[in-house]
Amino acid sequence: MTIDPITAPRRWSLPKFDLTTLRQHGGLAALVILLVFNLLVTPNFFELQTLFVNISQVATIAIVAIGMTLVIATGGIDLSVGAVMALSGALAPLIFLSPFGVANPELGLVAAFTLPILAAAAAGLFNGVMVTFLGVQPIVATLILFISGRGIALVLTNGNLQTFTNPAFSFLGTGRILGMPFQGWVALALAILVSWMVRRTVYGRHLLAVGGNEKAARLAGAPVHLVKIATYVMCSAMAGLAGMIVTAINSASDAARNGLLMELDAIAAAVVGGALLMGGRAPIVGAVLGAIVIQLVKFTLLANGVEDEVALIAKAAIIIGAVYLQQTRSE
Amino acid sequence: MLADSKTFDLRELLRSGGGTAQTRGVWIALILLIAFGLFRYDNFGSQYNVLSFLNFNSMFVLISIGMCFVIMTGGIDLSVGSVAAFTSVVAALLSSHGLIVAVPGGVLAGMAIGALNAFVILRMRVPPFITTLATMLAAKGGSLVLSGAETIGVDWTTNFTRLGMGSAFGTIPWTILIALAVVIVAWIILERTSLGRIVLAIGGGDEASKLMGLRTERAIVFVYVFSGLCAGLAGVILASAFGAGQPLEGVGWELTAIASVVVGGTLLTGGVGSIPATVAGALLLGLIFNILNFENGRGTISLSAYWQSVIRGNFLLIVIVLQAGLLTQRKARSQDG
Amino acid sequence: MNAPLLQMSGIDKSFGGTAALRSAELTIGRGEVHAVIGQNGAGKSTLIKILTGVYTRDGGTITFDGKPVHFHYPREAQAAGISTIYQELNLIPLRTVTENICLGYEPRKWGMIDWRLANKHARELLARFDIDIDVTRPLGEYNTAIQQLVAIARAVSLDAKLVIMDEPTSSLDDREIAILFGVIRELNKSGVSVLYVSHFLDELFQICDQVTVMRDGQTVAQREISDTNKLNLIADMLGRDPEEIRAAGMTDFSAAQAKTGDVLLEAKNVATGTRLRDFTMRVHSGEIVGLGGLLGSGRTEAARALFGVDDVTAGAVKIDGKQGAPANPRAAIGQGLSYLSEDRKAEGIIPHMSVRENVTLALLPRITKHGQVETKKERELVERFVKSLGIKASSIDQPIRELSGGNQQKVLLARWLATEPRILILDEPTRGVDVGAKLEIQQIIRGYVEQGIGVVLISSEFEELVEGADRIVVLQDGHSVSELRNPGVTENALVKAIAHHYADRDAA
């Protein structure tokens, strides 16, 4: 009996690491080079401690990059993620430090975890509605919250740094499970969940169809507006989560700096990971890889005594390089 | 007939300047806001307020003009803010040699980054969004390295600060005249040269423009270099007007510029755009701050600086919603016909 | 001047190891209309793109106007006197008519563009084609026919010696085609040659002098048009014996005696905000109802209204006994409708997705459990359709963009057949598809009709309608004006039905 390679069912299509995957991830090459370089040059690189430090740093970039990848898959972009981080990061301490939160610590904590995410999701809803029902270009639509979102956060906190001591909330940023930082687990769980969503669910199919050819998707019965709105909501919610993690790490909320320039890191991670800016592709694993690359560049330069400023230039070169590789290989 | 051709030209100019449905909104809003200011505040129309307002906003007008050209091709230039910071440092470092060296030095630095953008976009085929995102980071890094992450004081002994602080005939600040000159040149390029029309054609259809045999690459190089030039000039003005090269300035300028262009009715997808309306957009956004300051000055309200960005965001929202409404109306009309 | 205007010989071109052209030839005389025909993938467009400098040839020589040439950019070809009107219009809809004609070559005064002169120039050029429009309006505000003629006006204004037209009539109605042909004849008189590419063979006999036939990247024949006939050309294109085809017949929706059943769909005096004003039709189970009419008569708009894409503003729609038009495509699919849209590229395929994902896109809700796609079920279903429709793909996971036009169309057909529709609306199902695939698609559709579904068929090809449909509803200007019944409908009868009412209204 012969098995027809076409008809043989492929039950599990987890990330396929064949040649096409490699091609899509211009960033994978960069990652390997970075790792090898660090192993050879950076002192103490091959240590669990170093790994965990990096994981705790990369988690927020990865979480936001996953959401950004989804938005980019619709052919859109979300510039407001950094501002949304500031917003949710500022809200959380306000809630558990409020009279209500102090009076009811448990309830206050639950509220501090959920309300900021809901607020972030509302920001995503706003973005989504602007993009769909009003037909505003995504860069412009999300520019609004980019400008005013951080402003709202600053107004809420009056521009002050809010410090706090709340071990339960801080666990989000400083806790460890099996030695690995908690936010690392969160990022990992989100990556797996969203990967599954993209690959196996109707939402995932519709997402890629909408990004690939919106008119065709609409005619084939895909709920285009709903899919887009849901995507912006998810992206914002994830940014909100990341904003809370940053606040938890610092045990302080700093609306002026939380998530600053994060939209650039997230877009860079998504693109390095193989997302097509015109939409139609959502490489979630790639986005995580991209986030790791971005983080490793920062770390490598820092660990080797290179100034922060130069790191910016290096990041720029990597973004260009990765996209350039992607371009030449896809031809 | 000369007279005839003149009236015709005027109509053309008016039409291209402010007549379309998309650009009309910004003029109306600008006029209303000015009227509101004149009515409400005593000193609003004073020579001092008008000139200092224009003086301060000339930098934003400049980068908005550069951005407008880029956006008309369907591209985007996120590097303008960093480039301005970078060139302010360059100009400050060169200020001891006087205007004659510092100005060309700063402007050329900006144009060089613009040329780099164009090269990466055209030869490496990296999308503009990503390219200029990267040069934004690189220019920021570059200015920090050059300046050692500190503001660089300019040389006050040379004539360098005259550019940003001096006035022509003792009244009109030079910066305003420079911005005005750039606006006029940009306007002529867009409306009256093949280059300008090709810029619009590229935004209207890149592939089609190539198939029409247009020199699209030259036009793309032009828009990014021009945007670099405008940002460079803004940086030089920044250094000259505030007496220091400021590596940390320029954050968010690109968004202000994009906002001005959008408020001015230019489509972000390219193909349609107007220079005067973009200037109006930039002034409109600046005016909101001006009015807010007056309002704070009167003591009727006391809004912290943090409110400014909230208000600006909301204003952008209103303009965009209005524009979206206009566009759908237009679409419906064209479907009818 | 007996030397030909253009001589291309021994042209080779391959893309990534696949030969697109092998030693192709093309010779065009001065002042002649020369057709190039061939199936999809025969190499017509590659040959043209080499001529116009879009692609660079791998081998061979090109002589144009007595000189050997080698164009690297479209601009060089244009400067030498070769202008191209592409199938996808190479114009800028957002810019004005004048700009589209003059772009890059605007008249100047003191170094600046003289718009008054440019507008005058544009108006005069268009006047030669009997077009009087406001040239300062954006081109996108005018219909496709005008846009096409503007493209030609641009070519003429650039003093072209050779004008290449790629499927120029595919979106024109008869009157516009007549204007176009008039323009072509005028070009000929002034010594300009035209290279004419078209799927519509009938046209060639009306307008062309010479025809070059291509197959598999090679030039297989060049004929004097007066010395050949349609069948022989088809035989050349397919590389088959003319007699064999004569026996098989060209179009085969095989008007097997219609056994029509229940009424599936009923539209009464339907109007939409677009071009549809008063549309009435009825579709029974087991029949094909054609929608005939010129471009812009409301055929596609009728389909869109029935499928819930455009809102119905007046009239009544009844589907399977249920009142009311579907609110949106999603609802329409739920009610058993399918709509194969006209523009495969813009409204059909999702290029990055695989054949499999493209097929099941409209079906997803039915192969989903708890929000998760049942992949096994999906693969089985897609395999079945790939086999039964004869879709040629390396695997069902191959991206659809890599397939030929005909196979893409079959995948889309599979998408809609997979939803097991009761009513299937087909908008130009065989446009841009080669002759072989066309035949197959028509047979597949007939097969489904025999199983009892109702089909609404929209086609610009009178032949396809006349031979394929059981009844033809004729549309004019958004109104359904008459109905023809098979057997017995001839192309002439259909043309007459369309023309008759026009004349009537003009008289009124």
- pLDDT at position C176 is 77
Q: Which residue of B289, B301, B320, B327 is the best one to mutate when testing the A interface, meaning the one whose CB has the most A CBs within 10 A?
A: B320
User: Which of 101-120 (B) contact A at CB < 8 A?
Assistant: 120
Which residue(s) pair with C9 in the sheet? C61
Q: What DSSP element (H or E) covers C59?
A: strand C59-64
What would the 3-class secondary structure string for C402-446 be?
A: HCCHHHHHHHHHHHHHHCCCCEEEEECCCCCCCHHHHHHHHHHHH
Residue B313 tokens, joined: 């965001």
Please give the DSSP secondary-structure letter assigned to residue C133.
Answer: -
In a domain, B337, yes or no: no
Closest by CA position to C446, among listed C308, C249, C201 = C249
Out of C309, C372, C379, name the one closest to residue A219 (CB): C309
Closest by CA position to C94, among listed B213, A137, B208 = B208
What percent of chain A is predicted at pLDDT more than 70?
90
What percent of chain B is predicted at pLDDT more than 90?
40
Per-residue pLDDT band at B176 (split at 50, 70, 90): very high
The four Cα atoms B213, B216, B217, B220 give a dihedral, to 10 degrees, of 180
Per-residue pLDDT band at B324 (split at 50, 70, 90): low
What percent of chain C is predicted at pLDDT more than 70?
90
C218 contacts: CB under 8 Å, gap ≥ 6: C21, C22, C23, C24, C43
- Verify whether the Cβ–Cβ distance B201 to C95 is below 8 Å: yes
| Strand B244-245 versus strand B172-173 pairing type | unpaired
Is residue A110 scored above 50 in pLDDT?
A: yes
The four Cα atoms B49, B52, B57, B58 give a dihedral, to 10 degrees, of 130
Summarize pLDDT for B45-102 with one digit per residue, the tens: 888 889 989 998 999 999 999 999 999 998 989 899 999 999 999 999 999 998 889 9
- Cα separation of B235 and B245, whole Å? 8
- pLDDT at position B14 is 40
- pLDDT at position C298 is 84
Which residue(s) pair with B152 in the sheet? B245
Is the separation of the CB atoms in B235 and B95 below 8 Å?
A: no
Question: Which residue numbers of A have CB closer than 8 Å to C's CBs?
Answer: 5-7, 9-11, 13, 200-203, 205-206, 208-209, 212-213, 215-223, 276, 280-281
Q: Which residues of B touch C79 (CB under 8 A)?
A: 213
- Verify whether the Cβ–Cβ distance B213 to C116 is below 8 Å: no
Q: Which residues of A touch C341 (CB under 8 A)?
A: 216, 219
Which residue(s) pair with C482 in the sheet? C474
Closest by CA position to C41, among listed C407, C306, C380 = C407
Comparing A311-325, B278-292, C155-169, C354-368, the range with the smallest average pLDDT is A311-325
Residue C236 tokens, joined: 């050349």
Is the separation of the CB atoms in B288 and B315 below 8 Å?
A: yes
- Verify whether the Cβ–Cβ distance A152 to B320 is below 8 Å: no
- Verify whether the Cβ–Cβ distance A219 to C353 is below 8 Å: no
What percent of chain C is predicted at pLDDT more than 90?
28
Q: Which residue of C90, C139, C141 is the best one to mutate when testing the B interface, meaning the one whose CB has the most B CBs within 10 A?
A: C90
Neighbours of chain A (3+ CB pairs under 8 A): B, C
In a domain, B216, yes or no: yes
Report the gap between the CA of C198 and the closest CA in chain B (Å). Answer: 20
Nearest chain B residue (CA) to A263: B133
Q: What DSSP element (H or E) covers C25?
A: strand C18-28
Domain count, chain B: 1
Is residue B11 scored above 60 in pLDDT?
A: no
In a domain, B187, yes or no: yes
Q: Burial of B148 by CB count in 10 Å (0-12 exposed, 13-18 middle, 19+ buried)?
A: exposed
At residue C280, the 3 state secondary structure works out as strand
In a domain, B2, yes or no: no
Residue B178 structural domain: 10-332
Based on its alpha-carbon atoms, the radius of gyration of chain B, rounded to whole angstroms, reads 20
- Cα separation of A292 and C139, whole Å? 48
- Cα separation of C19 and C7, whole Å? 21
Is residue C274 scored above 80 in pLDDT?
A: no
Out of A143, A151, A327, name the one closest to residue B126 (CB): A327
Closest by CA position to C427, among listed C256, C305, C336, C277 = C305
Summarize pLDDT for C449-495 with one digit per residue, the tens: 988 899 999 987 778 888 888 899 988 778 888 888 877 777 777 76
Q: Burial of C477 by CB count in 10 Å (0-12 exposed, 13-18 middle, 19+ buried)?
A: middle
- Verify whether the Cβ–Cβ distance C93 to B215 is below 8 Å: no
Nearest chain C residue (CA) to B189: C112
Average pLDDT in the C21-48 region? 87
Q: Which residues of C touch B188 (CB under 8 A)?
A: 112
Q: Which residue of C15, C300, C330, C369 is the best one to mutate when testing the A interface, meaning the one whose CB has the most A CBs within 10 A?
A: C330
- Cα separation of C265 and C279, whole Å? 13
How confident is the prediction for chain C on average, in pLDDT?
A: 84
- Verify whether the Cβ–Cβ distance A280 to C353 is below 8 Å: yes
In chain A, domain spans: 50-330
Q: Which residues of C touch A7 (CB under 8 A)?
A: 379, 383
- Cα separation of C342 and A219, whole Å? 12
- Verify whether the Cβ–Cβ distance A155 to B306 is below 8 Å: yes
Question: Which residue numbers of B have CB closer than 8 Å to C's CBs?
Answer: 5, 8-9, 12, 188, 191-194, 197-198, 200-201, 203-205, 207-215, 267, 271-272, 332, 334-337
- pLDDT at position B328 is 57
What is the helix, strand, coil percentage profile of chain B, to 5? 80, 0, 20
In a domain, B5, yes or no: no
Size of interface A-B (CB pairs under 8 A): 134
Report the gap between the CA of C115 and the closest CA in chain B (Å). Answer: 8
Nearest chain C residue (CA) to B334: C141
At residue A98, the 3 state secondary structure works out as coil
Q: Which residues of A touch B329 (CB under 8 A)?
A: none
Q: Which residues of B touch C104 (CB under 8 A)?
A: 194, 197-198, 212-215
Q: Which residue of A74, A219, A226, A326 is the best one to mutate when testing the C interface, meaning the one whose CB has the most C CBs within 10 A?
A: A219
Phi, psi of A23 (to 5 degrees): -60, -40
Task: Give domain A50-330's CATH architecture.
Answer: Orthogonal Bundle (1.10)
- Verify whether the Cβ–Cβ distance B200 to C95 is below 8 Å: yes
Phi-psi region of C132 (alpha: psi -120 to 50; beta: other; left: phi over 0): beta
Angle between helices A202-212 and A182-200 (to 10 degrees): 70
Q: Count CA atoms closer than 13 A to C435's CA, side-chain side.
A: 24
- Cα separation of C320 and C261, whole Å? 12
Interface check for C341 against chain A (CB to CB < 8 A): the answer is yes
C398 contacts: CB under 8 Å, gap ≥ 6: C354, C355
- pLDDT at position A319 is 76
Nearest chain A residue (CA) to B143: A309
Residue bearing the bigger pLDDT, B209 or A224: A224
- pLDDT at position B149 is 82
Closest by CA position to B90, among listed B71, B74, B104 = B104
> How many Cβ atoms from other residues are within 10 Å of residue C254's Cβ?
12
- pLDDT at position C388 is 86
- pLDDT at position C254 is 41
Nearest chain B residue (CA) to A323: B126
DSSP per position, C192-217: -EEEEE-S-HHHHHHH-SEEEEEETT
Q: Burial of C6 by CB count in 10 Å (0-12 exposed, 13-18 middle, 19+ buried)?
A: buried
CATH of the domain at B326: 1.10.3470
Residue A76 tokens, joined: 């859109």
Greatest Cα-to-Cα distance within chain A, rounded to the nearest angstrom = 74
Q: What DSSP element (H or E) covers C319?
A: strand C312-319
